[in-house]
Amino acid sequence: MTGYVITAKPNAWQRFLRAAGPRLVRFLIGCGLWALGAAVFALRTAKALISLAASLAGAFEIAMAGRAGKPPVGSALGVGLADAFLNEFADGFTDTNNDPTDPKDADR
């Protein structure tokens, strides 16, 4: 006669939990992907709405400046900031020696 181990059958709760584990993992992964998609959608929508609001604000300012007979202030400030940024940006690419004795490079 050979010996063997008598094991108990898993009860209903154990079978349920064993079957529910992979399904729960899939569900949680699905929830995470859904949340990530919602975040991406919100950011992309916000970017478009901010761009639209900026365009409308600029158009409104130009219309009101024309009606008031005064130059638009925001446009003048924006042009000055854009020019300053482009000049800095161009300096960073064109000036590659970064010589500390050069007065132009003294602030670096």
- Model pLDDT, residue 82: 76
- 35-57 tens-digit pLDDT: 999 999 999 999 889 888 888 88
Q: Which of 33-37, 60-64, 77-81 has the lowest mean pLDDT?
A: 77-81
Domain presence at residue 71: yes
Domain presence at residue 37: yes
- Model pLDDT, residue 70: 81
For the chain, how big is the Rg over CA atoms in Å? 33
Using an 8 Å Cβ cutoff, are 98 and 105 in contact? yes
Domain presence at residue 107: no
Domain presence at residue 103: no
Domain presence at residue 79: yes
Containing structural domain, residue 56? 15-91
- Model pLDDT, residue 98: 61
Domain presence at residue 74: yes
Mean per-residue pLDDT, 26-39:
96
Domain presence at residue 51: yes
The CA distance from 108 to 104, in Å, is 9
Instruction: Compute, in degrees rounded to 10, the torsion defined by CA atoms 48, 54, 58, 61.
Output: 130
Domain presence at residue 62: yes
Domain count, the chain: 1
Tell whether pTM > 0.85. no
Tokens of 108: 């670096």
